Structure 1
Amino acid sequence: MQKDNQHANPRKRDEELNKEVTRDEEATVSKENEDKLTDAAVADQKQQDELQQKYDDLNNSYLRLHAEFDNFRKRTLKEKADLIKSGGERVLLDIISLVDDFERALVILHEAEDKDAMLEGMDLIYGKFINFLKQHGVKEIETIGLPFDADRFEAVTTIPAQDESQKGVVVDCIMKGYALNEKIIRFPKVIVGE
């Protein structure tokens, strides 16, 4: 019986040893898996932290750019409004100097008896007005003798042409037209031959 016990014992021992080895292997595998999972979790957390930092940086950059653009827009609107308010200042100062000339001419007209002096004064003021317009980019639109162009002229009436060369041509100008830097600001009113 002892032999049986000895046989039984070594078997039991083998089984117990196998169980222990299996438990140890499972514990080792389990510990390795835990280490791998922990490493993966740490790596995932690190990656998540990096992505969050990048997101925060990009969001801050976006907010700064948005604020800068908003400030730029407000500044340009204010500058434009200021320019519109004061943009005509130079023109008005030039007109005021012409008004001064007219006032002097009126004083002379009341005191003077010489028509030639009055005409000369008016011609000088007219010349100043024409120069003023030229300085500000305003040009008179030529009309008489040119073929009628509905895009550039406003026909008030037509008259019978005296000869063939006057048909469809501007024969008279009732009111002059002006262009500011090639853009028509007042269309000339003309009479066209037909």
Structure 2
Amino acid sequence: MSKEPKSQDLNEDQVLNDTNTAENETVAENEAAESDNVSDENKDATPEAENWEQKFNELNDNYLRLHADFDNYRKRTLKEKSDLLRSGSERVISGILPVVDDFERAITNLQSAEDINALKEGIDLIYNKFLSFLEKNGVKAMETNGLPFDADQHEALTMIPAPSDELKNKIIDTVVKGYTLDGKVMRFPKVVVAQ
């Protein structure tokens, strides 16, 4: 009798093990089937995901190229700007050098010259040559005498009583000339205004 319950216990254990094994196999088969379904879904999603990844890579590549192009553009324009400034300075200096040469000749002749009128004439010629150079480069002297005083265009050094009613609030003398460069005031004239 004692053998029967043991064998019965063994049979029950074996049945339980067989049942568990069968359940495990069923679960494993279900999981395998689900993973096949998931992999089938992934296979379906993979072309779309690859398409998005390809679009992302294209956009990223375009962004990097655009950024590099802009950086190159910025560097190129900075270089062009500095070259323009340098060439503009060279042009101005090359225009001033003949005037400097004339001044040097005048100074050399000043020491040996006996005719003062010739020296005055020479200095006038140099002055006119320099004014001509300035005008060619867009610099013009501002006319002020006799014009009404404008605080936006003139700097009043002093105010004196007006000699006549016609000259009230008008400029009667210019102490320092003003100049414009292509219409922009480079230096405001310093003037005396009648009150």
What secondary structure does 2:175 align onto? strand
Q: In the alignment, what sits opposite 1:170?
A: 171
Residue pairs, 1:48-67, within 5 angstroms: 48-67=49-68
- Counting only pairs closer than 5 Å after superposition, residues 1-194 of structure 1 correspond to structure 2 as 40-194=41-195
Q: Distance in 2 between matches of 1:110 and 1:87?
A: 36
Report Cα offsets for 1:93-119 as digits up to 9, x if no partner: 111110001111112222221122112
Q: TM-score, normalised by structure 1?
A: 0.77
2:6 corresponds to:
none
Once residues 87 and 145 of structure 1 are traced to their aligned partners in structure 2, the CA distance between those partners, rounded to angstroms, is: 36
Q: CA deviation at 1:38?
A: 6.1
How many angstroms apart in 2 are the aligned matches of 1:43 and 1:121?
95
> In 1, distance between residues paired with 2:163 and 2:92?
44
Secondary structure (helix, strand or coil) at the match of 2:103 reads helix
How far apart, in 2, do the equivalents of 1:64 and 1:34 lie? 42
SS, match of residue 162 in structure 2: coil
Deviations 1:46-76 (Å, cap 9, x if unpaired)? 1110110011011011101101111111222
Q: Percent identity?
A: 52
**Which runs of 5 or more structure 2 residues have no equivalent in the other structure?**
1-33
Cα offset for 1:189?
Answer: 0.6
Match of 1:11 in 2: none
Q: Look up the SS of the partner of 2:153 in the other structure.
A: coil
Normalised to the residue count of structure 2, the TM-score between the two structures is: 0.77
The count of aligned residue pairs is 162
Deviation at residue 36 of structure 1 after TM alignment: 7.9
Q: Which amino acid aligns with 2:138?
A: G
Quick one: which amino acid aligns to residue 44 of structure 2? Answer: A
Aligned to 1:29: none
Structure 1 position 83, deviation (Å): 3.0
Q: How much has 1:121 moved relative to structure 2?
A: 0.8
